[in-house]
Amino acid sequence: MFEVANQPPPLEPYNLFTSDTVLREAVARERAGWAEGELASLGATLGSPETIALGFAANRNPPVLKSYDRYGHRLDEVEFHPSWHALMALALEAGLHSSPWAKPQAGAHVARAAGTYMLTQIESGVYCPIAMTYGSVPTLRQAPAVADEWLPRIFARTYDARFIPAREKHSALIGMGMTENQGGSDLRANVTRAEPAGDGSFCLHGHKWFMSAPMCDAFLVLAQSPKGLSCFLMPRWMPDGARNAVHINRLKDKLGNKSNASSEVEFHGAYAQLIGEEGRGIPTIIEMGNYTRLDCAIGSSGLMRAAVAQAVHHARHRSAFQKKLVDQPLMENVLADLALECEAATALTFRLARAYDEDGEAAQAIRRIVTPAAKFWICKRTPYLTFEAMEVLGGSGYIEECIMPRLYREAPVNSIWEGSGNIMCLDVLRAIARIANAGEVLKAEFDDGGDKRLRAFAARLLERLSASERNEERQARVLTRDLVLALQAALLVKHAPAVVADAFCASRLTGEGGSAFGLLPRGVDARTIVERAAPQK
Ligand SMILES: Cc1cc2nc3c(=O)[nH]c(=O)nc-3n(C[C@H](O)[C@H](O)[C@H](O)COP(=O)(O)OP(=O)(O)OC[C@H]3O[C@@H](n4cnc5c(N)ncnc54)[C@H](O)[C@@H]3O)c2cc1C
């Protein structure tokens, strides 16, 4: 029997909150310091071996569609492994699906963002219905009678997995159906029809090519009504207690996000209630889209953190060529570069989350411009980062017993759904064009703190933002990337240790960073950056 040697101990148990310096600082800075106690307790629960095991089990035992019962009656139900339900119960108990709405207070969206940032590090599939439920509230509020009926159950923290009419349940979850087979980005191409039923409700006929978490209690759905594309709430059960005519054709066989079900569905006269003004479906549902896009940035930043924590932990314990990996100069460069990317993503995500806690024109402009920008760049960087972090673990990082393959497979989805990369960049152009004081608001964010590189970069960017070239669609990714880099650099210059800000400006604003990780230039204090990113015991 050979001796097992030079292998790191598993990174468990660990507290996802107290061990994460960057997260703790962001929470305090963005005015959610009051939530530290709860977040530390959630961080301990999530990082326990038992919860980590639930994440693995939920992914190894994906959901199964039950179309019919043994007699041939339609069921349209999805069966989940108990580990999925346990994780959902944990997320609801922490209020991650609705706490800022149920208990509004300064810093509430930031505190909730910290919770979901940690949740996604252990299991991302459950994040999907949690994010959609969170995002649904402002849209539902556009129909006060519907909101009165549904919000108390959406605010409840007792997970109720039973497939029964929502009014008989302790809590309710909301999904959404926008994407159709013939086009997801171009929602005006939706063909699902909504016919007035004569009693104020509508009957939906059509399909959705993607409808995730189909066991949610109701869905915000787009359909063409007599006055044009409109938004509806379509429950799984009808008011008379019968199953609604929502037929699940099949579950998607996805690259990642395995624990969660994503379905193709047909509506055969499904009961639905109008939300918002008839004919204004896109502006109505886009309210939800802002929050789910914020959640894409939070989720991807969280995935980055999970990958960096695993990589640094491994490199601190594994040796090669008579040194710990973390002490090999080239590995130090790779790890520091990964840590920088993660810290910049986290800083921007939490700054953005604060804009959701604030009122006023500036906060509104930040939400409108920075949400699609952050979603684009952070989600775009995550697959590269998770891949590079996986490589730090060598061959073991490629093996399914390790969490890295799961993080890697999960990484692209936040970029694709809720508006793919190009759609986000085009939205940034639209937002800048529509907001009269966009330049001023952004300029205030680009505070250079005396860093010359940032000052020069931001000045060039502001010039481009005020020139007509900013509307050039072909260059929208370049502009959006640069906008995010300037925002990230400004946050790090203002709030992070000088070594972090210096390395970020040197590599992202003037250097060659970006094409791969491990390209930090000479003179960067990589060791200190890596130490800061190490999961602290
Ligand atoms: C795991 C998963 C879960 C999902 N869950 C849901 C859900 O619950 N509900 C839901 O409604 N949808 C869901 N979706 C669907 C998702 O939101 C869409 O796939 C996405 O919006 C893109 O739409 P599409 O697939 O039709 O691609 P298309 O619209 O065909 O776009 C294809 C590509 O073309 C680009 N593109 C489109 N227009 C332009 C343009 N004008 N200029 C430049 N480039 C352009 C896009 O950026 C994209 O890269 C889910 C998707 C996935 C992968």
Element (H, E) at 346: helix 329-355
**Those residues with Cβ within 8 angstroms of residue 105's Cβ, 6 or more apart along the chain or in another chain:** 34
Cis before 13 (ω within 30): yes
How far, in Å, from the CA of 512 to the mean position of ligand 1? 31
Beta strands in 276-403 (DSSP E): 319-320, 323-324
CA distance 58 to 81: 6
202 DSSP β-pair partners = 196, 272
Nearest-CA residue for atom 30 of ligand 1: 183
CA distance 406 to 13: 19
Ligand 1 neighbours by CB, cut-off 6 Å: 175-179, 183-185, 210-212, 254, 257, 262, 413, 416-423
Nearest-CA residue for atom 49 of ligand 1: 420
How far, in Å, from the CA of 423 to the mean position of ligand 1? 9
pLDDT of residue 514: 62
Ligand 1 atom at minimum distance from 185 CA: 29
How far, in Å, from the CA of 417 to the mean position of ligand 1? 6
pLDDT of residue 467: 87
Q: How many residues does the chain have?
A: 537
pLDDT of residue 536: 84
Nearest-CA residue for atom 17 of ligand 1: 417
Cβ atoms within 10 Å of 330's Cβ, excluding its own: 10
Residue among 417, 418, 424 whose CB has most ligand 1 atoms within 8 A, to mutate: 417
Cα torsion 203, 207, 213, 218 to 10°: value is -10
Residue among 416, 426, 429 whose CB has most ligand 1 atoms within 8 A, to mutate: 416
Tokens read off for 2: 């050979």
pTM equals: 0.98
Please give the average pLDDT of every successive group of 10 residues along the chain, which has 537 residues. Answer: 94 98 98 98 98 98 98 97 98 98 98 98 98 98 98 98 98 98 94 98 98 98 98 98 98 98 98 98 95 98 98 98 98 98 98 97 98 98 98 98 98 97 98 94 93 97 90 95 98 98 96 80 97 92
Find out whether 291 and 375 touch, Cβ atoms under 8 Å: no
How far, in Å, from the CA of 190 to the mean position of ligand 1? 13
Tell me whether residue 392 is exposed, middle or buried, using C-beta atoms within 10 angstroms of its C-beta: 0 to 12, 13 to 18, 19 or more: buried
For residue 535, which of 19, 48, 8, 16 has the smallest C-alpha distance? Answer: 19
Residue among 182, 216, 420 whose CB has most ligand 1 atoms within 8 A, to mutate: 420
Nearest-CA residue for atom 46 of ligand 1: 420
Find out whether 512 and 327 touch, Cβ atoms under 8 Å: no
How far, in Å, from the CA of 38 to the mean position of ligand 1? 36
Find out whether 57 and 81 touch, Cβ atoms under 8 Å: yes
How far, in Å, from the CA of 364 to the mean position of ligand 1? 26
**Those residues with Cβ within 8 angstroms of residue 236's Cβ, 6 or more apart along the chain or in another chain:** 163, 166, 215, 216, 217, 218, 243, 244, 246
Tokens read off for 440: 């001023």
How far, in Å, from the CA of 490 to the mean position of ligand 1? 32
pLDDT of residue 1: 81
| 127 φ/ψ angles, rounded to the nearest 5 degrees | -60, -30
Tell me the residue type at 8. Answer: P
CA distance 465 to 442: 10
Ligand 1 atom at minimum distance from 473 CA: 42
For residue 309, which of 455, 407, 172 has the smallest C-alpha distance? Answer: 407
250 DSSP β-pair partners = 264
Quickly list H helices, 393-475.
Answer: 404-410, 413-416, 421-434, 438-445, 452-466
How far, in Å, from the CA of 96 to the mean position of ligand 1? 25
Nearest-CA residue for atom 37 of ligand 1: 185
How far, in Å, from the CA of 17 to the mean position of ligand 1? 33
pLDDT of residue 66: 98
Tokens read off for 279: 């004919």
How far, in Å, from the CA of 217 to the mean position of ligand 1? 24
Ligand 1 atom at minimum distance from 183 CA: 26
Residue among 423, 429, 430, 480 whose CB has most ligand 1 atoms within 8 A, to mutate: 423
- Cα of first residue to Cα of last residue in the chain, in angstroms, is 33
Nearest-CA residue for atom 25 of ligand 1: 184
How far, in Å, from the CA of 187 to the mean position of ligand 1? 10
Tell me whether residue 275 is exposed, middle or buried, using C-beta atoms within 10 angstroms of its C-beta: 0 to 12, 13 to 18, 19 or more: buried
Nearest-CA residue for atom 22 of ligand 1: 184
231 DSSP β-pair partners = 222, 275
Ligand 1 atom at minimum distance from 186 CA: 29
Find out whether 243 and 168 touch, Cβ atoms under 8 Å: no
Nearest-CA residue for atom 24 of ligand 1: 184
Tokens read off for 239: 């008011």
The C-alpha angle 420, 422, 428, rounded to 5 degrees, equals 105
Cα torsion 326, 329, 334, 336 to 10°: value is 70
